[in-house]
């Protein structure tokens, strides 16, 4: 069984989607996945899922949602331990864990292997992380952290490509990334080098001046 949060929340078994239909059940699963293989106290789950609007029956409701999830994904996967609820997940069956493993392996690898590992990590993304849970309060900060990890991986992959002598073929991608993330200094430096490699020295200088103005503002 595979678990995916680098895009809309998905559970897949033998190529088929496993339905987790209720909003709070999906939110509970997402939160447990963000803390996979770690105990999460029940009162913390209540706070994260219901916040200040938690009803008096929230603890009982949480237990019901845990039971529903167990029926959907397997009773053995969610355990109640003294420190809290634990979702047991094989890291190789969880897209975020695989992403982090590939990014970690890339750090000490030579440029060519580093670029390939990072491409593999980035390819795991299917859209905005936890896209269908973006309005859940707990998810908003987590989505920001995940987006930052993706951007860091993309920048590292571009660094590896630049080390390999590439440049012209990176210009369009970098310009799109800067449009979406205008304050990323690393991207702007990469664009200058890519433009220079493409023989576009005047454009590289213009990119430098644009970066100075943007960051000064």
Least confident of 20-24, 121-125, 162-166: 20-24
Give the mean model confidence (pLDDT) for residues 117-130: 97
Measure the CA–CA gap between 13 and 6, rounded to whole angstroms.
Answer: 17
pLDDT, tens digit (0-9, with 9 covering 90-100), for 42-72: 999 999 999 888 888 989 999 999 999 999 9
User: Whole-structure pTM over 0.85, yes or no?
Assistant: yes
Encode burial over 108-126: b for 16+ CB neighbours within 10 A, e otherwise. eeeeeebbebbbebbebbe
CA distance 88 to 36: 6
Domain range for residue 104? 92-216
pLDDT at residue 124 in the model: 98
Nearest residue to 5 (alpha-carbon basis) of 37, 38, 41, 29: 29
Answer yes or no: do 84 and 165 share one domain.
no
For helices 185-197 and 171-180, angle between their N-to-C axes, nearest 10 degrees = 160
**Residue 217 pLDDT level (bands cut at 50, 70, 90):** confident
**Domain C-terminal end among 91, 106, 129:** 91
- Domain boundary at 91, 125, 153, which? 91
Please say which residue of 91, 114, 131 terminates a domain.
Answer: 91
Give the model's pLDDT for residue 67: 94
- Mean pLDDT (the chain) is 94
Band of pLDDT at residue 137, cut at 50, 70 and 90: confident
């Amino acid at each position: 069984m595979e678990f995916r949060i680098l895009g809309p929340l998905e559970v897949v078994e033998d190529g088929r989607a496993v339905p987790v239909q209720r909003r709070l059940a999906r939110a509970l699963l997402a939160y447990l996945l963000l803390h996979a293989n770690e105990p999460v106290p029940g009162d913390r789950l209540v706070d994260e899922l219901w916040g200040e609007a938690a009803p008096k029956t929230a603890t009982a409701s949480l237990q019901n949602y845990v039971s529903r999830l167990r029926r959907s994904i397997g009773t053995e996967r969610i355990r109640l331990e003294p420190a809290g609820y634990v979702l047991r997940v094989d890291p190789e069956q969880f897209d975020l864990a695989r992403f982090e493993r590939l990014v970690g392996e890339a750090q000490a690898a030579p440029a060519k292997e580093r670029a390939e590992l990072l491409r593999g990590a980035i390819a795991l993304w299917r859209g905005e992380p936890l896209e269908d849970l973006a309005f859940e309060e707990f998810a908003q900060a987590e989505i920001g952290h995940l987006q930052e990890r993706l951007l860091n991986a993309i920048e590292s992959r571009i660094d590896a490509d630049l080390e390999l002598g590439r440049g012209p073929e990176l210009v369009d991608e970098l310009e799109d990334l800067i449009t979406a993330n205008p304050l990323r200094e690393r991207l702007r430096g990469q664009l200058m080098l890519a433009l220079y490699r493409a023989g576009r020295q005047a454009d590289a200088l213009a990119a430098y001046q644009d970066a100075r103005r943007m960051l000064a503002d």
